[in-house]
A and B are shown apart, each in its own frame.
Chain A
């Protein structure tokens, strides 16, 4: 993913409003082929909304999104995209087996009334193997733990053999061994040259994979640069504006947040970067 790799995602001056309230403003950024980008920020900072805007689930009120050089309005190469939505469970109102849920990820490459063919089955099996659930294919998804269900959702996205993968908080509420299994799975994909945009609050075992970090704050892009150190989550960039981070001491909503000490560069530029107009990769790296 050198600077010469082709651009896979281009967001230019994007804004999103939900029910008339501006949520995202002035987002500009790029993701290049083969990059592993971590999209970070406090709860409610707009990470999911940005991912949903990039996948066409939220209409833009301004700006544009291009995937693989094609405008999202009228985009049709969905088989190149994989999406893991923010979900607590893979279950629905009727039992479904792990195999069935993962097989639905193959729909991007299937026509109407066409049964699963050999290559489809091979892709589903491969996806299950990558997430380490090949032996659970016939089980119902509800029989799996939360972390395993997250891995089912990832396998579902992988079954379509995407080149660009969006994952929205796949590690939230997942225990450490499952996070490690997830990191292995994403490492395999990265080695195969996939481009990955991962939303996470805490990177944990995924940290070594990350090439670049984007930090959202209150609907704007506050940082775009080198991966942040683990303790960076205590940085003011990550604090919610109205409630606060759960590691904080309780009850000081209206007091100014005390910044944890962090290397000067990020702290110094954080507020100034609030416009997030994608002025490249800033000054973030100290």
Chain B
């Protein structure tokens, strides 16, 4: 157990908890807007920011934040202006980001290994000041995302409706993009820029397998994010007695394992929900009595009961049986 008592490990665990909490919070709004890959794109852009930090000798965290925020605003502008080829324009920006980053790192005379710390995370080498920055920024992200939930939810749910409700949709979109950029750079030390999007999106995808409301999805995703990042860190710490196990990929794989376990549950729930979707409330074509029917349908007879207008139909071997007097009708 002693490994958890080391200072570097305590710092790493603090960073993991805060990142695990913040990443899925923004991620939920991105997924809601069907922009799941936005975090990934901003991660690529942030590579240039890191490289600029290495080149100028300033803190890569802060240069990465500045460049990622600029990238996020640019992405929003592109999305608003160029409707048709928006995603191609985004792709150009993203590839520009990573290519620029690798190029500038070389010019700065830094090794690929140095850049790799940021690409795949190096949570166990995080400094005290970086932990403070991580905690402060993550808290800011969570407070805004949870505090403005009604507004951000409405904007992500239906932009046009939100505009007619008097909300400044563009400002909220930029806000979410900026929060995503901040989160990306915060999570950069934990899972790395190339895997950052996983921590933003996978817990949300897992949560929504079993939830029906936005609020519970958000809360569950935050919980799963913390579980994955803290769990992944601890697992990799113990595993590293034996092998070289990097925390970043361990965290992401743990999050994915959570999804893999939850998905079948979600599939069953979805199937059941689909089965129970009411039939169109049109009356049946005519009065058609079933063949000999010894079975009695009821609340727990094993046949799904589906609403059909003012009564229920029991799904029975591809037929829809509705009770009528002393017999069953085909509906």
Chain A interface (Cβ within 8 Å of chain B)?
52, 55-57, 76, 78-79, 81, 83, 85, 87, 92-97, 99-101, 103-105, 107-108, 110, 112-113, 138-140, 142-143, 145, 156-157, 160, 166, 175-178
Contacts and interface: CB of A to CB of B under 8 A. Distances in A.
Contacts of A113: 147-148
Contacts, number: 112
Interface stretch (B27-35, B61-69, B192-200, B289-297): B27-35
Contact of A94 (B31, B150, B158): B31
B212 A139 contact: yes
Interface in B96-119: none
A83 B32 contact: no
Given A56-B164, A85-B160, A95-B211, A112 B148 contact: yes
A83 B156 contact: no
B43 to A, nearest CB: 20
Given A105-B165, A108-B166, A156-B161, A92 B281 contact: no
30 contacts: A55-B164, A56-B164, A57-B163, A57-B164, A79-B166, A85-B160, A93-B31, A93-B36, A94-B214, A95-B217, A96-B214, A97-B212, A97-B213, A97-B215, A99-B213, A100-B213, A105-B161, A107-B151, A108-B166, A112-B151, A113-B148, A138-B213, A140-B212, A143-B277, A145-B277, A156-B161, A160-B165, A166-B164, A175-B280, A177-B282
B298 interface: no
Given A94-B32, A177-B282, 16 more contacts: A52-B160, A83-B165, A85-B160, A85-B161, A92-B32, A93-B33, A95-B212, A96-B157, A97-B212, A97-B215, A105-B161, A107-B165, A108-B165, A108-B166, A175-B280, A175-B282
Contact of B208 (A95, A99, A108, A112): A95
Chain B, interface size category, equals: 35 or more
A156 B213 CA distance: 16
B160 A107 contact: no
Contact of B215 (A55, A79, A100, A143): A100
B173 to A, nearest CB: 14
B212 A143 contact: yes
Contacts of A103: 150
Given A104-B150, A113-B147, A96 B165 contact: no
Contact of B28 (A81, A94, A101): A94
A175 B28 CA distance: 33
Contacts of A143: 212, 273, 276-277
Contact of B214 (A56, A95, A176): A95
A107 B309 contact: no
Contacts of B278: 145
A92 B29 CA distance: 10
B154 interface: yes
A175 B281 contact: yes
Interface in B60-95: none
A178 B281 CA distance: 9
B154 A81 contact: no
B153 interface: yes
Interface of B: 28, 31-34, 36, 147-148, 150-151, 153-154, 156-158, 160-167, 204, 208, 211-215, 217, 273, 276-278, 280-282, 309
A98 to B, nearest CB: 9
B160 A94 contact: no
A113 B151 CA distance: 9
Considering residues A103, A143, A166, which has the most beta carbons from chain B within 10 angstroms of its beta carbon? A143
A100 B277 contact: no
Nearest to A105: B165
Nearest to A96: B214
Contact of A176 (B156, B213, B282): B282
Contacts of B148: 112-113
A117 B144 CA distance: 21
Nearest to B32: A94
Given A93-B36, A95-B211, A160-B165, A87 B150 contact: no
Nearest to B208: A95
Counting from the closest, the 10 A-B pairs by CB-CB distance are A78-B166, A140-B212, A97-B213, A83-B164, A104-B154, A177-B281, A94-B32, A96-B214, A93-B34, A93-B31
